[in-house]
A = this chain, B = another copy of it.
Amino acid sequence: MDRRDFIIKGALGGAGLLISGVTGKVFASSKGSKKPPYPYKPIDPAMIEKKAYDYYFKGHCAYGVFASILDTLKESVGGPYVGIPGELLEYGRGGINGWGTICGALNGAAAIIHLCCRDWKTVVDALYKWHNETPLPIYNPENPRKYKGALGSSISTSPICHISVMKWCEKTGFAYDSKARSERCARITADVAKKTVELLNAYYYGKLKAKTVPGIYKTKMECTTCHNMKVGG
């Protein structure tokens, strides 16, 4: 076997990963992994929303967006994506282990966008702006997994998990710990994954006219969404 160019079959779960002995440097940094960004190939938005919805029920919101797109790129591109576990972003669920900070779907989306896009900042800003201004969820699966009735929708005005959930609970009357709320988050996982690949497809193959969101004193979030809100405690 030529040491300079050999195929490892079986070693990596039958993935048939091609590693080149010398040209392998293309995929390798000093620590054994290539620095992103990695190549991208177009992804069907209709396919990914269904896949991300299904993935939500395996590993929640952040995993749902990150792993559904990552696994798709493992199949279409392979290479440097193959060594990264989709489960890496599982910790993002519930705004990171229930802390209610960044929406897990948006955390997972930023992670995968950064992996496959040199101009990741523009794409992340476009996605977050869309998320904050759009009535969600949009996706309406043929066979809902947790709740089959009408869910309604709400505008989150914020990328923060517990603010987004609270806005939706207030609008629809569903409880935080209801099956409908879980269904809503699964569908938003689908929505965010779909929008993410639409933006990536537009960035690579179309004309993405995204504007970087200007910062307001230490953040890009709207101040008054949170701060002039009276709560007990």
| B-binding residues in A (CB < 8 A) | 1, 8, 10-15, 17, 19-22, 24-25, 27-36, 71, 74, 80, 82-92, 95-102, 106-107, 110-111, 113-115, 120-121, 124-125, 128, 159-162, 165-166, 176, 215-224, 226-233
Contact = CB atoms under 8 A, between A and B. Distances in A.
Nearest to A219: B100
6 smallest beta-carbon distances between A and B, as pairs? A83-B83, A100-B219, A13-B28, A91-B114, A15-B32, A32-B82
Chain A facing B: main interface SS:
loop
Given A100-B221, A233-B224, A85 B88 contact: no
A104 to B, nearest CB: 11
Nearest to A226: B226
B1 A13 contact: no
17 contacts: A13-B25, A13-B28, A31-B71, A31-B74, A31-B82, A32-B83, A33-B84, A36-B90, A91-B120, A95-B102, A96-B106, A98-B219, A99-B128, A99-B220, A162-B218, A222-B233, A226-B227
Given A10-B22, A33-B83, A101-B160, A230 B231 contact: no
A230 B227 contact: yes
A230 B109 CA distance: 32
Contact of A97 (B14, B121, B227): B121
B217 A223 contact: no
B88 A80 contact: no
A88 to B, nearest CB: 6
A97 B30 CA distance: 26
Nearest to A38: B85
Nearest to A34: B85
